[in-house]
Structure 1
Amino acid sequence: MRVEKTYYLFTILLALGMGMTVSSYGPFLREIGLSLGQIALVNAVFWLVLSVSEIPTGLVADGRGRAWSLRLGTLFEVAGAFTYFFASGVWSAMLAEVLFGIGMAFLSGAQQAWLVDALRAEKRGEQVRHAFATAGILSGVGMLVGGGLGALVSMWRPHFIWLPMVACGLAASWLAARHMEGWGNPETAMTEREAFRQAVRTLRSNSSLWWLTGTMLVFGLVIPFNNYWSVYFEEDAGRLGLAGVWTVIYLSVMAGSWLVRRVRFADHHEGTGALVALGTTAVGLLVLPAVGFPLSFAPLVLHELGRGALQPLSDSFVQRRVESGCRATFGSLLSLIAKAGNVSAPLAAWWFTRGMGNSQATIAGVWITAGAIMLAFVFLLWVFRPREAYPISS
């Protein structure tokens, strides 16, 4: 199986399993007894565990092998989904999020690094951004199909939305063991300590990477949207209608990835493209609660277009500037710093919503605040944007 096809299949399996849960995640947590504030709190636990696990798991990926890391990550996600299947309150939800956080840490960095080095081993490194964008589109298909099916399943048995994630995770783990092992490892092998030192040196010496880290830190302000969109729209669209809302969301994400795939960016324009995508995301989040249903679909599309474009642009921006031997470790280091925003945003939402009602108005207040803060930082990032690119490898 070709490198890209293996990566695409792995991506689709993860997306399909996750997609089964996303359209009903908020309502599911409400049904097992969590308030809006507690939903934000358990999500903050997920991001905190993911953040502190990033460096150790990235070191393992560069030292033990990317496929080994991907296999272990999928198994932790299976354990998290199985725990949610039996969840009955805030503590069992926290345990599930801890398992998901560890699993995602093993996947982050290693997944992208596997593709980059596998392609470069075949002398096709110029296809990296195209492959990332294609994977983004296929991930959107998996999430789209899964989201629609998940909304239907949740109307029958809410807990059953987690079982397809167990099946898809086991299949992805088998794929990593059978078809990804031996590929996608560093061109120049490094020990875990060497990989960490090289990753730190790379970050310290490259101002463009520091700037992108700030961009991704600000992007963490979208987390309250992830937490609450299904609860927010369920009031107007109903549980089954969430499948339609999810269709709009992920068609827009796929369109954003498609635009990146179609437009050719010079190396020094990828960062500007990422910042434009972040600004588009912020505007959509700010305006969405200010207009009524169904007019809110317009800013929703804008928000998701930005998000769909940002990921492949930022992935390509980073991977072109990092040496092979520490690529997974650097991805984890960058993610660790950037995810401070992913932890802070839901914690702030939890604090903000304490003592407030579990209503659309509460969610709207959180989104408007997050969108306004994000736009202010977009302006600052534009002012201090890097004027040059510093690619280490081509």
Structure 2
Amino acid sequence: MMKFHASQVYTVMGFWTSLANTTMFTTYAVYQVIAVGLNPVQLMLVGTVLEVTVLLFEGIAGVIADTYSRRLSVLIGTFVLGFGFLLEGSVIWLAQAVPILSAFLWLLLSQVIFGVGHTFISGADAAWVVDEAGEENTGRIFLKAKRAGLLGTLIGIAVSVWLSFLEPNLPYIGGGMLYLLLGIFLLIYMKETQFVSVQQQDEAVSHWANLKATWVSGTRVIRRQPVLLMVLLVTLFSGAASEGYDRLWQAHLITDIGFPQSPPFWIGLIAVVSTLASLLVMRAAERRIDLNNERIVLRGMILLTVLRIAAILALALSQSFAWALAAVLLFEIVRTLTSPVYDTWLNLNVDGRSRATVLSMMSQSDALGQTAGEPCVGWIGQRFSIRASLVAAAVLLVPVLAVYNRVRTKHQR
């Protein structure tokens, strides 16, 4: 049987999950708005249910990964996501077969399953590959996986549009099947050799005591390391800012700027161009940036945050389509590069024994920021304008810049 190194498995995961997610989410509005018939309030509820589920389960899943097995946690999450997305793609059929629940209620249930599956993978996949491949290889692996994910994104855009033309729900059916296939691949090729579970360390202790001990250990790690407390602030404000941008940039282009031609054509073209440009940038970063040097990583995070703020402000203040297009492309490229750099910086500051728990707490903070930021930024848009909402999203990133600068100053001292 063919053998895969941990870094290769992680790269396959990066490609396959990006392919599946892009297949589903590129044309999600066609399915949810046109086929299912959701109104704006229902669309907001769908997002809220997802984020609340992540907020509630993120810490629990991280503790399970650190207590028993990161591999087991990833496998559970992958299969749960597959079934959740299959359910989401079948809500109209289910509403007809089981009329007790409407398609909207079935959709909400699928978001709960989606959120639970996400929490089992979040943090556990990164913790697993860092353990198996070594911290010294972390930056290179994350960059390579992200680059593979961009290739999956390019393919997924085309697959999503094609399946959506056939039937609006097929992208979700296809994405769910892709996750199930990934689960089978991981079941065979994902090995765990470096992790020692808490249960193995002390078999006399009960399961609940082990879970509690792991959770307490994770919180102690964060309390003892001021840099991790600062990371919590980063994820909180970044989550709030990203939610505002993601919900509003297309609406801003449609209602305030206007497209030269069909909006779906331009939205797809923006996705393709930003992905291709991100591939080039990621390749250059992989060759020239030493992500094992924390000082370089911190400088990179500060620069990338400044560029994200500038891009959102440029979009908010844009008066022409060309200006807005340049701002959107800049933001998407910067966000793509930010992900592996941030993951590297975070893993360099996390203790291996509680890595999955701490990473899950960071994701929990991000979910809290998104849950709190969405209504605030949305209210500003309703009360004033979408431009004002985008400015608010940019302002929410300013504290992130301050946190990075403070950490950099402490390192210099």
Could you say whether these structures have the same fold, taking a TM-score greater than 0.5 normalized by the shorter chain as the test?
A: yes
Say if 1:36 and 1:353, in contact at 8 Å, map to a contact too. no
Residue 163 of structure 1 is matched in structure 2 by 173
Q: Bigger shift: 146-155 or 342-351? A: 342-351
Percent of pairs identical after alignment? 19
Structure 2 segments unaligned to the other structure (5+ residues): 93-102, 202-209
Paired letter, 2:174:
P
Say if 1:115 and 1:184, in contact at 8 Å, map to a contact too. no
Residue 342 of structure 2 is matched in structure 1 by 314
Offset at residue 350 of structure 1 (A): 4.9
Distance 2:232 2:276 in 1: 27
Offset at residue 301 of structure 1 (A): 1.8
Cα deviations by residue, 1:57-95 (Å, 9 ceiling, x for unpaired): 111112221111111111221122112213355433322
Residue 251 of structure 1 is matched in structure 2 by 276
Matched residues, number: 380
Residue 57 of structure 2 is matched in structure 1 by 53
Residue 24 of structure 1 is matched in structure 2 by 27
Residue 178 of structure 1 is matched in structure 2 by 188
Change (3 A) 1:294 1:95: farther
Residue 372 of structure 2 is matched in structure 1 by 344
Change (3 A) 1:98 1:139: same
Quick check: 1:225 aligned with 2:245?
Answer: yes
Quick check: 1:277 aligned with 2:304?
Answer: yes
Paired letter, 1:164:
G
Residue 33 of structure 1 is matched in structure 2 by 37
Structure 1 segments unaligned to the other structure (5+ residues): none
Cα deviations by residue, 1:81-125 (Å, 9 ceiling, x for unpaired): 1122133554333222211111110010101011000113xxxx3
Quick check: 1:333 aligned with 2:361?
Answer: yes
Cα deviations by residue, 1:151-182 (Å, 9 ceiling, x for unpaired): 23323321111122112111111122111143
Residue 164 of structure 2 is matched in structure 1 by 154
Distance 1:364 1:86 in 2: 37
Q: What is the DSSP-based 3-state SS (H/G/I as helix, E as strand, rest coil) of the residue aligned with 1:308?
A: helix
Distance 2:15 2:62 in 1: 22
Offset at residue 9 of structure 1 (A): 1.0
Residue 286 of structure 1 is matched in structure 2 by 313
Q: What is the DSSP-based 3-state SS (H/G/I as helix, E as strand, rest coil) of the residue aligned with 1:176?
A: helix
Superposed CA RMSD: 2.7
Paired letter, 1:146:
G
Paired letter, 2:80:
F
Distance 2:10 2:161 in 1: 27
Change (3 A) 1:65 1:382: closer
Distance 1:92 1:350 in 2: 26
Offset at residue 184 of structure 1 (A): 5.5
Say if 1:117 and 1:186, in contact at 8 Å, map to a contact too. no
Q: 1:7 aligns with which of 10, 13, 33?
A: 10
Q: Bigger shift: 295-304 or 380-389? A: 380-389
Say if 1:287 and 1:368, in contact at 8 Å, map to a contact too. no
Quick check: 1:94 aligned with 2:98?
Answer: no
Paired letter, 1:309:
L
